[in-house]
Amino acid sequence: MRLANKTAIITGGGSGIGKASAKFFHREGANVVLFGRRKHKLEETVQELGSRALAIEGDMCQSTDLDRLVQETQSTFKRIDILVNNAGIFKGAPLHEVSDDQYDEIMNINMTAVFQLTRKVLPVMMEQKGGSIIHISSILGIIAVPQVAVYNISKGAMNQLNRSIAVEYGSYGIRSNSICPGLIKTDMTADLMSDETLMQEWSKEYPIGRFGKPEDVANACLFLASDESSFITGTILPVDGGFTAH
């Protein structure tokens, strides 16, 4: 029960890394609030969890939806101890062919919305004198690969937001850490991972010999959410099977 009496918000909580983290957090005693656009996915997860779980449908890019998320979480559970910024999109195109609309879509979801929600949660944590914010970034926030420049940019910016929070709000007992997954089998990567030839080639870059599962990232989230990591803040943690080690 490492998260007993704590309340966690997890964006994109109906599937993949968000759902796996919700299950782990709930198992360890946390109240869990799942936020996202796919209501049926959120409700399915809440039904699996049972009590101490709440689904809130909304759009990360709508400020009023984010306000409602924070307000309903406080109204139901009275506090916010953990924020997992997990929601995001992955799209690619050659940099010179990216339209303004395509750039805005990726940056708005992967970075601007994360900034806005974090800004709304911080005053709650400041008043409580504590909290843990976990950003689900990517190894592409550390390195770059072709054809996904805007995604690379968005995750690099997320890592800098993480550091900024750590140095600015540490005196309030607020910690901030980024997790940078390698290739993880989720709904978002399903189309990409259906290319068997490409996957055989990419697997050579993973020293541990496999791609990741949502649970691999959820375990890291659980550690950073718990008091076991109370002296860890501002870190950028690859969870990538050794991809970025070479």
18 neighbors 179 (Cβ within 8 angstroms) = no
Can you give the residue range of the structural domain that contains 135? Answer: 7-184+214-238
Phi, psi of 148 (to 5 degrees): -135, 45
Q: How far is it, in rounded angstroms, from Cα 186 to Cα 34?
A: 17
What H or E segment, with its residue span, contains residue 7?
strand 7-11
Which of 11, 79, 75, 76 is closest to 45 using CA atoms?
A: 11
Given a cut of 90, whether residue 188 has pLDDT beyond it is no
Residue 131 inside a domain? The answer is yes
Total structural domains within the chain: 1
Residue 209 inside a domain? The answer is no
Residue 208 inside a domain? The answer is no
Residue 231 CA: distances (Å) to CA of 3, 167, 173, 175, 176: 17, 13, 10, 9, 11
Given a cut of 80, whether residue 190 has pLDDT beyond it is no
Strand-pairing partners, residue 132, are: 82, 175
Q: How far is it, in rounded angstroms, from Cα 204 to Cα 118?
A: 37
Given a cut of 80, whether residue 96 has pLDDT beyond it is yes
Residue 37 inside a domain? The answer is yes
Which of 87, 110, 109, 107 is closest to 98 using CA atoms?
A: 107
Residue 114 inside a domain? The answer is yes
Which of 227, 236, 13 is closest to 134 using CA atoms?
A: 236
What H or E segment, with its residue span, contains residue 220?
helix 214-225
Which three-class secondary structure state does DSSP give residue 9? Answer: strand
Within 10 A of 153 (CB to CB), how many other CB atoms are there?
Answer: 19
138 neighbors 180 (Cβ within 8 angstroms) = yes
Give the pLDDT confidence score for residue 244 in this predicted structure: 95
**% of the chain residues with pLDDT over 90:** 88
Give the pLDDT confidence score for residue 69 in this predicted structure: 98
Q: List, for residues 75-88, the tens digit of each pLDDT value.
A: 999 999 999 999 99
Least confident of 29-43, 168-182, 184-198, 222-236: 184-198
Residue 198 inside a domain? The answer is no
Residue 200 inside a domain? The answer is no
- State the CATH number of the domain containing residue 80: 3.40.50.720
- Active site amino acids: 151
Q: List, for residues 119-156, the tens digit of each pLDDT value.
A: 999 999 999 999 999 999 999 999 999 999 999 999 99
